[in-house]
């Protein structure tokens, strides 16, 4: 028996495309199913100014294969030397749609991130004034905090004080991984939302650590206990518009993932929609997939929903997805949910 589900074409509100040969290889994997994506700015060197964002957008569009339609929604990497006037001008010109806050040292290519929030106060005040969203990697990096507690401590010691101090600031807490993060986004007053990744809906820390270390499940924020995974699934399938899809699809070559000090990141662009259909079906919420993947994100960022659709089909036999994709920098392993997938995008 075949099941079919047609939804508005989705968007990805947290995506890593990298640059150069890697960009050319992974961009089609997203553009095949997604109309738009918020593009992460943590290149080397990072995308700091409006001119940087414009140039990166041009490189993305130059790498887009003929026949695919895709709109990159650019962001700036917040540093302690970011110019508020440049940020405001880039937003007014339609070059950027958000600014990204990386606590220094929190994740891949975050060394240029923020160590002292007081040093970026003028930028944040300008963003609150003009309605420019702040996308946050919500973890503390102090060495005395356990890596599994970094998100919870961030909520209490950084995010909540920041939002009380600047109540008009529009905040998106990205890749929420804990029940505490879900509770905060759901219950807090003011202008806040949260993105949830594909892989955090499908794995918990046991998948990464039991029976041997599986480096392709290693990501930051790191996967947490199964109780947190279940809280994410409840939130994603609830129909609450504060929660929407941000895959955090983040390609690294296999040698960089499988080394003695492997990189953090899960590449999921190719099979995200099949994985999401699987999760939403398990949660008896297929009718809410469109909201999570296609409707709530555009509303959050003040954009129209896409006027085209995609169709997902469920078949009796497992769908075969590639184990990895080849890039000019080396092979990149695709996220493996650990079980067969029966959904695919057909149109």
- Tens-place pLDDT, residues 141-154: 999 999 999 999 99
Mean pLDDT of the chain: 96
Write the CATH number for 140: 3.20.20.140
DSSP at 64: S
Instruction: Name the residue range of residue 293's domain.
Output: 3-345
Cα dist. 13→140, 246, 342 in Å?
22, 4, 25
Among residues 248, 254, 307, 326, which one is catalytic? 248
**38 HSE (CA, 13 A, CB side):** 28
d(CA 335, CA 269): 9
Per the structure, how many domains does the chain have? 1
Segment 257-297, tens digit of pLDDT: 999 999 999 999 999 999 999 999 999 999 999 999 999 99
Q: Is 331 exposed, middle or buried (0-12, 13-18, 19+ CB in 10 A)?
A: middle
Is 60's pLDDT higher than 90?
Answer: yes
pLDDT exceeds cutoff 90 at 248: yes
pTM of the complete model = 0.97
Q: What is the structure's pLDDT at 15? A: 98
Is residue 88 pLDDT above 80, yes or no?
A: yes
- SS3 of 141-196: CCCCCCHHHHHHHHHHHHHHHHHHHCCCCCEEEECCCCHHHHHHHHHCCCCEEEEE
Would you state the pLDDT for residue 2? 57
Cα(192)–Cα(215) distance, rounded to whole angstroms? 32
What percent of the chain shows pLDDT beyond 90? 96
For residues 316-326, give the mean pLDDT: 96
pLDDT number for residue 324: 98
Residue with tokens 């994410």: 232
Helix (H, G, I), strand (E, B) or coil at 93: coil
For 210, other C-beta atoms within 10 Å of its C-beta total 10
pLDDT at 113: 87
DSSP secondary structure string for all residues of 294-332: IIHHHHHHT-PPPS-EEEEEE-SSPP---SEEEETTEEE
The pLDDT assigned to 302 comes to 97
Closest by Cα among 321, 198, 205, 324 to 258: 324
What's the Rg (C-alpha) of the chain?
19
End-to-end CA distance of the chain: 18
Asked if residues 171 and 136 have their Cβ atoms less than 8 Å apart, the reply is: yes
Catalytic-residue membership of 316? no
Helices marked H in the chain:
20-31, 50-63, 84-92, 121-130, 150-154, 160-165, 179-187, 198-202, 205-209, 226-236, 254-257, 272-282, 289-290, 296-301
β pairing state of 343-345 and 309-314: antiparallel
């Amino acid at each position: 028996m075949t099941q079919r589900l047609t939804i508005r074409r989705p968007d990805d509100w947290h995506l890593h495309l990298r640059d150069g040969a890697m960009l050319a290889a992974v961009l089609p994997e997203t553009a095949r199913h997604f109309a738009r994506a918020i593009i992460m700015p943590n290149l080397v060197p990072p995308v700091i100014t409006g001119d940087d964002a414009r140039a990166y957008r041009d490189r993305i569009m130059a790498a887009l294969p003929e026949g695919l339609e895709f709109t990159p929604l650019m962001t700036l990497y917040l540093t302690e030397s970011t110019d508020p006037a440049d940020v405001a001008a880039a937003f007014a010109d339609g070059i950027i749609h958000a600014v990204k806050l990386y606590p220094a040292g929190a994740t891949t290519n975050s060394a240029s991130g923020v160590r002292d929030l007081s040093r970026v106060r003028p930028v944040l005040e300008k963003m609150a004034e003009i309605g420019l969203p702040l996308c946050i990697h919500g973890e503390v990096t102090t060495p005395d905090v356990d890596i599994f507690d970094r998100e919870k401590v961030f909520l209490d010691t950084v995010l909540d004080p920041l939002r009380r101090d600047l109540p008009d600031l529009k905040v998106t807490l990205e890749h929420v991984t804990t029940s505490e993060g879900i509770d905060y986004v759901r219950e807090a007053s003011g202008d806040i939302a949260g993105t949830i990744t594909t892989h955090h809906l499908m794995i918990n820390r046991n998948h990464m650590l039991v029976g041997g270390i599986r480096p392709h499940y290693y990501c930051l924020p790191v996967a947490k206990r199964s109780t947190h995974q279940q809280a994410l699934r409840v939130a994603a399938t609830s129909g609450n518009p504060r929660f929407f899809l941000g895959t955090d699809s983040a390609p690294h070559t296999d040698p960089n993932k499988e080394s003695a000090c492997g990189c953090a990141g899960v590449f999921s662009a190719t099979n995200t929609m099949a994985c999401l259909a699987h999760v939403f079906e398990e949660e008896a919420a297929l009718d809410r997939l469109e909201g999570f993947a296609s409707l709530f994100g555009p509303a959050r960022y003040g954009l129209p929903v896409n006027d085209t659709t995609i169709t997902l089909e469920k078949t009796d036999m497992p769908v075969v997805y590639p184990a990895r994709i080849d890039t000019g920098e080396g092979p990149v392993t695709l996220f493996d949910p650990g079980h067969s997938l029966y959904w695919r995008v057909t149109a």
